[in-house]
Amino acid sequence: MKFHIDSPFLIILLFSISLLISLYTYRKYFSNPKFSRKILYFLFSLRLVALFLVLFLLLNPVVELIEKEYKKPKILFFQDNSASLLSGKDSVFHKQEYPKMIDDFISDISNKYDIKLFSFGEKVRDSLFYDYSDKSTNISDIFNFVDNNFHKDNISHIIVASDGVFNIGYNPEYIDFNFLFPINTILLGDKKEYSDIKILDIEHKKNINLGADFSFDLSLSYDNIKNNNIIIDVYNNKELVRTDNVKLPLDENFYKITLNFNANNSGINNYTFDVKSKNIEDNLSNNIYSTFINVIEKRKKILLIYELLHPDINSITQACYDNAYVEIDVVYVNDLDKNILNIYDLILFYQVNSSLDLSYNINKPCLYFMGSSFIDFKHMFFKGLLKEEIINTNNLKHSNKGDVSFDLNKDFKSYKLDNVLVNYLDLLPPLFASKNYFGLNSNFNILFQEKSNNNPLLFFVDKNQNQSGFVLGEGFWRWRQYLYNQTNTHDIFNFFINDIFQFLVFSNNKSDIKLNFKSNYYENENILVKAQVYNDLLQLNNYNNLKLLIKGQSDSFVYSFSRISDYYNLDLGKFAPGYYDYIVSLHEEDDTLYNIGGFVVHPFILEDVNTKANHDLLKLISIENNGFFVEIDNLSSLKDSINSFIPPSTEIINKKNVGLIHFKLIFFVILLCLLIEWVLRRFNSLK
């Protein structure tokens, strides 16, 4: 316990005041011989103590209290809850007997330790689960979770109970462990060698134009097979369309085959591949693979013309590849055939010096990525659109370039930026652009502008009844990379790019509904839908109710969008695998707007692909981290090892400052002194 006061000299001063007051009170009694000197000195002391304590408390003195707390070390127990544990012949054991064994084990080691229980599969969750419902396994997430949440705690052991099968995340073999405590593993699952042929993956394009040729690349893996002749049946929408006889090389355990098709049915095509053999296989679920192809009758065509190669080009094209309703071609400016420009709905020029000349007589929306080079504002394209002083200025320097920070123009109302992107705008890397000052007249619609001088960085202009856009900067590839690092998805950047394209292509449309709705999802993925409604003046509004009708194979569902600011938002949650049609409807006073489309939910079957337990991985993790690995039948040896270990307890010192005025004992002392003084004065006839 430590004592704190602002000024020690005040204590001396207060004691002196208390002493003088006490002396003044009893001075006349000391000169009277009829009063006992001992009684007077005692009364004087009582008055001095009480008076000094009262005055002392007025200074609000503080006492630092130190409390010590001892905590038991922690054991972190992680239970594999993935579906692969039920694929072997011991599935009944894992559901019925195994949970009780683990409960007994934890109870036996909980005397010395604070046990924290977790389950893992797709991600780490609090508490234990034994339903084995996770459709993927991320073992590396365990160690990230420990490092992020328990790096300051006194951890004695980690125990991981798993079959060692992982299919997402990092390979634990290559993790640089830096833990100061052992990692023990409990080896679960079936390690017996079985004959097995499985489809590892099928690569293909998700969106195909009607009539186009496309292919599926099948990756096959096989073990312990005696007959290497297999049959691959291919079904499209449950109708057998193809059968192939394939001979697998016995000296390998991996084979890749390409199957070519023609897209002759528009809409969503469900292709199912079924591999059959004469081998006796224990697991047939990984012989079947189902996927979807979206055959589109008409997609918006975009042409990107470039003169200078840049990482931005790849970022732009990748955003288009993820959009089912957009098709993009890329061509070098010197290889351009000008006669084909009219077949495209939107033309992009990436740092093409002659872009304004190429596009001047084309009645098409254009988007000019000018990079850090200054636009020739004297070009006929800008006639009547720029302030006169800009046209007459001839002192624009091309060398004044550098990183520039940007702001969102609050007056931009043509469409709504995604809220997630808006939240990241201040954190995005700067663009590399010209720093020369210039101004635009009111005919320009500015989306982004430079912070320091309000120079426009991304703006639109209505020219010849077509919208054109200008990007006066480069470095969007860094935005894409940063957003992916923060969110683990490219969707936010893709929405940003596609919103620009959508605005340029559809800006001549009247009242319309714009959707951020992907065409492909997985069954373990939440389906998030965002919508914007434009009136006849291309102004955003969300005054009316927006509804979504989803039709599956057997059921229909109706949802209502939530209004957020000037856009609509809807979280549909997870859907079962299959194809779904949707109709988005907006009922206005004199009209009804519709937006019709479809999406596919793909099955997430990673746990069926590889079901053989990987005990070697679990043993490696334990060996590298000074731990033990045990079979489930030998769980008692791990219990004995943990209980024989003498764990160091953690001493936690808590310090807190408490005002002395809160101590009741001091008030008791003051009252007692005054009470005794009053009684003795009355008893000795002291007035």
- DSSP letters along 117-141, please? EEEESSSEEES---S--BSS--SHH
Instruction: Give the up-direction half-sphere exposure of residue 201: CA atoms within 13 A in the CB hemisphere.
Output: 4
**Mean pLDDT in residue range 548-573:** 87
Tokens of 38: 């001992």
296: pLDDT strictly greater than 70:
yes
pLDDT at 417: 82
> Is 47's pLDDT higher than 50?
yes
pLDDT at position 289, please? 86
Whether the predicted pLDDT of 536 surpasses 60: no
Residue 631's pLDDT is 93
Q: In degrees, to the nearest 5, what angle opens at C-alpha 91 toward C-alphas 89 and 94?
A: 135
Please identify, in words, the CATH class of the domain defined by 73-192+612-648. Answer: alpha beta
* pLDDT at site 455: 82
Looking at residue 637, its pLDDT comes to 92
Output the pLDDT for position 418.
80
Strand partners, 502: none
In the structure encoding, which two tokens stand for residue 392, read together?
A: 């007459």
Percent of the chain with pLDDT over 90: 29
Q: Residue 245: pLDDT above 90?
A: yes
Triad 271, 272, 275: Cα angle to 5°: 140
Q: Is the pLDDT of residue 5 over 70?
A: no
Residue 394: pLDDT band (50, 70, 90) is: very low
654-676 average pLDDT score: 83
- Give the per-residue pLDDT at 244: 94
Is residue 1 scored above 60 in pLDDT? Answer: no
Three-state DSSP state, 83: helix
pLDDT value of position 342: 85
pLDDT reported for residue 379: 60
- CA-nearest of 82, 76, 78, 77 to 189 is 82
CATH 2.60.40.10: which residues of the chain? 196-297
What's the rounded mean pLDDT across residues 135-160? 91
The structure tokens listed for 476 are 């969007």
Task: Give residue 391's pLDDT.
Answer: 46
Token pair for 262 = 């023609």
If you average pLDDT over residues 522-541, what whole number do you get? 76
Query: 77 CB contacts (<8 Å, ≥6 apart)?
Result: 106, 115, 116, 117, 118, 128, 159, 161
What are the tens digits of pLDDT across the range 319-377? 988 777 788 999 999 998 888 888 898 999 998 887 777 776 778 888 989 887 766 66
Distance CA 122, CA 116 (A): 19
Cα separation, 544 vs 494, in Å, equals 28
pLDDT band at 395 (very low <50, low <70, confident <90, very high): very low
Residue intervals in the chain for CATH 3.40.50.410: 73-192+612-648
Q: Looking at per-residue confidence, does 7 or 244 come out higher? A: 244
Per residue in 301-319, pLDDT tens?
Answer: 899 999 889 999 999 999 9
Place of tokens 């800008």: 382
Q: Over 90: is that where the pLDDT of 480 sits?
A: yes
Fold of 196-297: Immunoglobulin-like (2.60.40)
Average pLDDT value for residue range 134-146: 92
569, 527 contact by CB (below 8 A):
no
Query: Please, are residues 120 and 81 in contact by the beta-carbon 8 Å criterion?
Result: yes
More confident residue, 392 or 667: 667
CB 306 within 8 Å of CB 330: yes
Give me the pLDDT at residue 278, please: 86
* Record: fold of 300-506: Rossmann fold (3.40.50)
Q: Higher confidence at residue 316 or residue 653? A: 316
pLDDT class of 151 with cuts at 50, 70, 90? confident
- 66 versus 204: the higher-pLDDT residue is 204
Q: Which pLDDT does position 598 carry in this prediction?
A: 80
Is the pLDDT assigned to residue 381 strictly greater than 70? Answer: no
pLDDT 10s digits, 570-622 = 999 989 888 888 888 887 665 677 777 788 887 776 766 677 789 999 999 99
Nearest to 344 by CA among 286, 290, 300: 300
User: pLDDT value at position 397?
Assistant: 47
DSSP 374: P
Which range scores top for mean pLDDT: 134-138, 241-245, 598-602, 683-687?
Answer: 241-245
CA dihedral 226, 228, 229, 233 (to 10 degrees): 110
Q: Could you tell me the pLDDT band of residue 6, with boundaries at 50, 70 and 90?
A: low
Report the pLDDT averaged over residues 449-453. Answer: 85
pTM: 0.53
Q: Under CATH, domain 512-602 is a member of which superfamily?
A: Macroglobulin (MG2) domain (2.60.40.1930)
Least confident of 359-373, 442-456, 537-551: 537-551
Q: Mean of the pLDDT values across residues 242-266?
A: 91
Residues of the chain with CATH 2.60.40.1930: 512-602
User: For the chain, what is the mean pLDDT?
Assistant: 84
Which range, 448-462, 478-492, 577-591, has the best average confidence (pLDDT)? 478-492
